[in-house]
Amino acid sequence: MSLTPDRLVVICVGYVAFLFLVAWIGDRRAKAGRMTWLRSAPVYTLSISVYCTSWTFYGAVGSAARSGLEFVTIYLGPTLVFLGWFWLLRKLVRLGREHRLTSIADAVSSRYGKSPALAILVTLIAVVGTTPYIALQLQSVALSFAAIAGEADHTRTAFWVAAGMAAFTILFGTRSVDANERHHGVVAAIALEALVKLAALVAVGVFVVFGVMGGVGETFARMPADMIDPETVFGPRWATITFLSATAIICLPRQFQVTVVENLDEDHLRTASWLFPLYLFLMCLFVLPIAIAGLDLLPASANPDMYMLSVPLALGREDLALLAFIGGFSSATSMVIVAAIALSTMVSNQIVMPLALRTLHGAGAISGDVRDLMLIARRISIAAIFALGFFYFQLTGGSDALAAIGLIAFAGLAQVLPSLIGGLYWRGATRAGAMAGLASGALVWAWTLFLPSFGPDGLLSAAVLAEGPFGLAWLRPEALFGTEAGDPLIHALLWSLGLNTALFILVSQATLPDALERVQGALFVDVFHPRLAETGNDGVVRRQASSEELFVLAQRILGASAAQRLFEEMARAQGIHTGLPRPTDDMIARLERQLAGSIGAASAHAMVSRAAGIEDVSLSELIEIADETQRLIATSERLADKTAELERTAVELREANTRLRALDAQKDDFLSQVSHELRTPMTSIRSFSELLLDEELAPEQTKRFVAIIHDESLRLTRLLNEILDINRLEAGASEMVLEDVEAEAALSAAIETLRPMARSAGVTLVPHAPLDGYTLRANPDRLRQVLINLISNAIKYDTAPEPRVEVRWTAHEGVLDLDIIDNGGGVSREEADRVFSKFVRGLRSGQTQGAGLGLPISRAAVRRMGGELSVVFDADQTSFFRVRLPLARVPAQPAPEPAE
C-alpha cells in the first residue's frame, strides 16, 4: 500500500466522519438520558487528556531528541496537580458546579464579585495565548501530512483541517446553550481520540523497542552519549517547566473546560487523580526510545519533531506510520475542538453578548428569544477563532517561532494563576488586586516573551530586541533591568509572575472589597465549610444568576422592549454603560418586584430562582422519586378500597408495600429537599443580618437589607404554611368535613375574588353557564382554594395576545366536571406529568405557586374530597385543568347543557 496524498485525505475524512458519528451518538444518548458509559470516570479522565496535543505527540519526541529528559517536566507538573486533587481541583470542580462557572474567565470574575472587566481581561489573555497554539496544531497536521505523503501544500492542508474542525465544533459545540455548558458528544469524541493517540504512541514505541532495537537495554545502549547529561538535567528549566505545566493544567481554558465545566460527578476526580497521571506516564514511556531510534537510524538533517512518522517510514512500516499520523491528527483535532469551545464560550459570554445586545438594541433589531442570538454569537466566535488560528499559521507558518509557542502560551495563561489560587484560599483578595496583577503580568509576558517570539524583525524590530525601546537598555525585552537569565522563558516567567503576584497581594491589601465581593469571596474560599457546604445552591447563590438568563426571563414576561428598558435602567444604576447589569441582589430583587407586577410576587420569585439556576440532576431525580411514591400510594389506597378480588389485590398490595418501604429511604431525600428549600431564605436572612451586624452601613443600605430580610421572612412563612398544608392533606391527618355545597355559589365566589386580578392582567373572564341546582359534596373552603388556585394560574400564564379564561362544565353520572380553560394553549404533554410534583416551578405555563406546591396541594385536596384534578388534552394539543367532583344533587329539571 502506498500512501498517496489522495489516500491520506480519504483516511482523514473517514476518521473525521467516524468522530462525527461518535459525537452524534454521544449527544443522542445524553439527550435520551442514557449516559451509562458517557458518565463514567474513565471517559472523564480520557477527556482531560486533551492536555496532550500534537505538541506532545510529535513535540515530546523532538524535545527528547534535543534536550533529553526535559520533556517529562511537561507531564510531571500535571501529575503533581492531580495528586493533590483533594486540595485544589476538588475545590474548583465544586465551585464550578455550585456557581455554574462556564469558563476560567467566568471563574475569576465570579470570585471577584462578577466583575465584567476581569472577565474581559482573562478572555483576552486566553485568546492571545491560545490562538498561536491552535496555529501550532494546524502546522503539525500540515507537516505530518507532508512527511507521510510527500510534498504537499501546507496551506491547503491547514485550511481544510481548520474548516473541518470548525464545522465539527459548531455542530456539536453549539447545539444548545446548555445551562451547564456541557457537551456530551464532544466529550465522547475526544475521549475516543485520547485512546487513539495513546494506542498509536505505544504501538510505535513497542515496535521500535522490541521489534527493531531488541529490548530496553539495547535501546539505551545506542543512546548518544550527550543526550542525557546528569549534571544539567535538574537545572533551573526543570523546575520552571514543571511549575509552568502544573499551572497550565489549572489555567488553560480547554483544561478548565474538560476538568471543571464538563465534570458530571465530583467523585470522578478521585479516579482521574491516578488514572490521568497513569495516562501521561504511558504517553511518556516510549518517548525516549523513539527519540533514540530516530537519532540512531535517521540522518542528522531529519526533523526530530517528525520522528514519530519518519522512524516507522524509514523501517518500511507504512501501516505504523499511518497509525502514528492518525494519532497526531487526533491530538491536534481534539485540542483544537475543545480550545475553540472554551474560547468561544468566553468570547461570546463575556464580550460579544454584552456588545451585541447594546448594538442591536440601538438598531432596534432585538426581539424575542435572546438564546438564538447567543448561539449565533457562539458560532461566529468559533469560526473567528479558527480563522484567527489559520491566519496566524499563514503568517508565521514554517518558521521555528511556532515550535516554542506551547511554553509561551503556558506562560501567558499562567498569569491567571495568582488571582485564581489567591481567590480560592485568601478572603482578602480583591478585584482591584486581581486586576492589577493580571494586567501587569500579561503586559510583562507580552513584552518579554510573546512579542520577541516572532523573532528579530517580527513584531519587534531587531534594534528594540537588542537595545530596548528608544534605546532604553533597561527595558530590553529579554533582559529587563539588565537581568539576563540566559533563558528567555525563565526570565519572562520570573518577571511577569513575580510582578503579577506582588501587585495582586499589595493592591489587595490596599483596597477594600465591596459587599458583594466579600460574600463571593467567602463563598469561594469556604466552599467546603460544613455550614456553606450544606446550604449549597441557595441564598446568596441567587447572585450566580447570569444576567443573560434573567434577561431572557424578563423578555418572556415583560416583552422585549420593556425588558430592554428595565435592564438598561438597572445597568445605569450600577454605573455600567455597556451591556447587561451585574446580577447583584439589588438587581435581582428589583427584577423580581418588576416581574411580580405582571405575574404575582410568589411566582415571580419562583421564576427568578429557577432562572438563577437552582436546579440540578438530583432535583429532577428527586421529583421522579416523589412522583413514583405518590403513584404508589394512590395505587395501594385504591387497592385497599376494593373488597372484590381480595386475593389478587393482597398480593399486589404486598408488592406495593415492599416497594414503598424501599422508597421510604428515598423519601428521606425528599425531606432534605424540603429543608433545602427552607434554607434558601434562611441563608439570605443570615447573610444580610451578618452584614448588618458587621458593617457600618449607610442608613439607606441598612434599610434595603432589612427590607430583604423582611421579604425573606415572609417567603419563609409562606413556604412553611404550604408545606404544612400539603402534609396535612396527603397524610390525611385532619378530618376533612364534607358538606353539600351549591356549585354555582362556590364557582361565582371564586371568580368574583379573581376579577380584579384578571382586570389588571387584561384577561377577559368569559361568563360561565349557570350551574343552578347542582350541589356538590365537598369542603367549601378547600373547594374555593382549589378553584382560586386554578383560575388564577390560568389568568397569570395565559400568554395569548387577547387572553381569555373561562370555566365550562359538564355533569354526568353523579359527577361534575369543571374545566378551567384559557386560550394560551395550556401545558405541554411533557409538563403535564410534572406540574403536580412538588417543587416544580417556573415552567413556561402550567405554573404552580410559591414554592411550587400550589398544584400538588390542589390535587391532594380534590382527591380528599373524592374527586380528581387532571390535565386534559384537546384534539389540537391544547390542554386545560379539569376538576371532577362528586355530585350530591342534580336539579329536578336538568338545566340546559352549557353551550360550547
Partner 1 sequence: MQRARETLGQGARAVRARKARDAGLLLPLAGLVLLMPPVARLFAVDAWIGGVPLVVAYVFAVWAGLIAAAYLLGRRLGATPAQSEDD
Binding site for partner 1 (CB under 8 A): 69, 72, 76, 79-87, 215-218, 220-221, 223, 228, 230-231, 233-234, 238-239, 242, 266-267, 270-271, 273-274, 277-278, 281, 284-285, 288, 526, 528-530, 533-534
C-alpha cell at 116: 465584567
Pairing of strands 815-822, 879-889: antiparallel
Least gap, CB of 280 to partner 1 (angstroms): 9
- Cβ proximity to partner 1: between 199 and 228 the closer is 228
Please enumerate in sequence order all residues whose Cβ is within 8 A of that of 651, keeping only pairs 6 or more positions apart, or say none: none
Distance in Å, CB of 445 to partner 1, minimum: 24
Q: From the CB of 683, what's the least distance to partner 1, in Å?
A: 17
Nearer to partner 1, 278 or 651 (CB): 278
d(CA 710, CA 582): 23
Q: What whole-number distance in Å separates Cα of residue 215 and Cα of residue 319?
A: 22
**How many whole angstroms separate alpha carbon 823 and alpha carbon 644?**
44
Residue placing its CB nearer to partner 1 in the complex, 90 or 317 = 90
Query: DSSP of 101-116, one letter per residue?
Result: --SHHHHHHHHTTS-H
Using the minimum distance from each CB to partner 1, give the nearer residue, 18 or 86.
86
Least Å distance, CB 283 to partner 1, is 12
Residue with cell 491589601: 509
Residue 798, φ and ψ in degrees, nearest 5 = -80, 110
Judge residue 870's burial from the number of C-beta atoms within 10 Å of its C-beta, 0-12 exposed, 13-18 middle, 19 or more buried. middle
* Start-end of H helices in 315-369: 318-346, 353-363
Shortest separation between residue 78's beta carbon and partner 1, angstroms: 11
Whether residue 95 contacts residue 109, with contact meaning beta carbons closer than 8 Å, is answered with no
User: Cβ closer to partner 1: 527 or 611?
Assistant: 527
Residue closer to partner 1 (CB basis): 230 or 896: 230
> Minimal distance in Å, beta carbon 539 to partner 1?
19
The nearer residue to partner 1, 82 or 809, going by C-beta atoms, is 82
* Least gap, CB of 662 to partner 1 (angstroms): 23
Q: Which is nearer to partner 1, 486 or 559 (CB)?
A: 486
Q: Which residue has the cell 394512590?
A: 634
Number of Cβ atoms within 10 Å of the Cβ of 298: 18
CB of 418 to partner 1, least distance (A): 19
Q: With respect to partner 1, which residue has the nearer C-beta, 251 or 321?
A: 251
In whole angstroms, the minimum distance from the beta carbon of 63 to partner 1 comes to 15
Helix (H, G, I), strand (E, B) or coil at 548: helix
Dihedral angle at the C-alpha atoms of 825, 829, 833, 837, nearest 10 degrees? -40
From the CB of 298, what's the least distance to partner 1, in Å? 22
DSSP letter, residue 303? -
Calculate helix-pair angle for 854-864, 699-731, nearest 10 degrees: 30
Q: How far is the CB of 293 from partner 1 (least distance, A)?
A: 15
Min separation Cβ 600 and partner 1, Å: 38
For residue 488 the three cell numbers come to: 528567555
Instruction: Determine the distance from the C-alpha atom of residue 598 to the mean position of all C-alpha atoms in its chain, rounded to a whole number.
Output: 30
61 vs 158, beta carbon nearer partner 1: 61
Nearer Cβ to partner 1 (91/844): 91
Residue 867 in grid coordinates: 374527586
| Count helices and strands in the chain by DSSP H and E runs | 37, 7
DSSP annotation of 814: T
CB-wise, 527 or 791, nearer to partner 1? 527
How far is residue 489's CA from residue 238's CA, in Å, rounded to a whole number?
12
Q: Are 614 and 541 in contact (CB under 8 A)?
A: yes
Q: Which is nearer to partner 1, 211 or 732 (CB)?
A: 211
Nearer to partner 1, 225 or 899 (CB): 225
What is the closest distance, in whole angstroms, from the C-beta atom of residue 92 to partner 1 in the complex? Answer: 15
DSSP 215: S
Phi, psi torsion values for 742, nearest 5 degrees: -70, 120
Nearest distance from residue 198's CB to partner 1, in Å? 15
Instruction: Please tell me the distance from the alpha carbon of residue 227 to that of residue 94, in angstroms, as a whole number.
Output: 44
Amino acid at 570: M
Please report where in the chains the cell 493592591 appears, as a residue: 507
Q: Which is nearer to partner 1, 75 or 809 (CB)?
A: 75
DSSP string, 706-734: HHHHHHHHHHHHHHHHHHHHHHHHHHT-S
Q: How far is the CB of 509 from partner 1 (least distance, A)?
A: 24
Cα dihedral 793, 797, 801, 804 in deg (nearest 10) = -10
Please list, in sequence order, all residues whose beta carbon lies within 8 angstroms of the beta carbon of residue 783, skipping any fewer than 6 positions away. Answer: 741, 746, 776, 865, 885
Task: Read off φ and ψ for residue 765, nearest 5 degrees.
Answer: -95, 110
Measured CA to CA in angstroms, residue 125 lies from 346, 419, 482, 707, 819 at distances of: 11, 13, 27, 41, 60
